Amino acid sequence: MSHPDHSATTKRLNRIEGQISGIKRMIEERRYCTDIIAQTRAVTAAVKALEAEILKSHLEHCVTEAFSSNDENARRESIAEVMTLFKKS
């Protein structure tokens, strides 16, 4: 099975990394609690958006490839992987 190219997410990851650094700086500067929380919520939203983008790619490529094959085991494994992801949430 080939894996999709996720290199386009690098920009998003760099932005998240910058947000995390900003939060660390805010904590070191003893900034107001709700300001820090607002930034952590922004990071959470950014990570969720990244997760959604990668999941979409997984469904469009990996899962589609498994279902296009004649391999019933690959199809079951693909479903099980996605179900496991959502059970962990």
Return the CATH number at 15: 1.20.58.1000
What is the identity of the amino acid at 83? M
Residue 41 lies in a domain: yes
**What pLDDT is recorded for position 70?**
87
Residue 1 lies in a domain: no
Closest CA to 81 of 62, 57, 60: 62
Residue 3 lies in a domain: no
**What pLDDT is recorded for position 58?**
92
Model confidence at 89, in pLDDT bands (50, 70, 90)? low
**What pLDDT is recorded for position 3?**
81
Residue 74 lies in a domain: yes
What is the identity of the amino acid at 30? R
What is the greatest pairwise CA distance in the chain? Answer: 59
Residue 27 lies in a domain: yes
Residue 2 lies in a domain: no
Sign of CA pseudo-dihedral 70, 73, 77, 80: positive
* Spatial distance between the Cα atoms of 49 and 12, rounded to a whole number of angstroms: 9
* Spatial distance between the Cα atoms of 18 and 85, rounded to a whole number of angstroms: 27
pLDDT of 73-88, one tens digit each?
A: 999 999 999 999 889 8
Residue 31 lies in a domain: yes
Domain count, the chain: 1
Domain boundaries, position 45 = 8-88
pLDDT of 24-68, one tens digit each?
A: 999 999 999 999 999 999 999 999 999 999 999 999 999 999 999
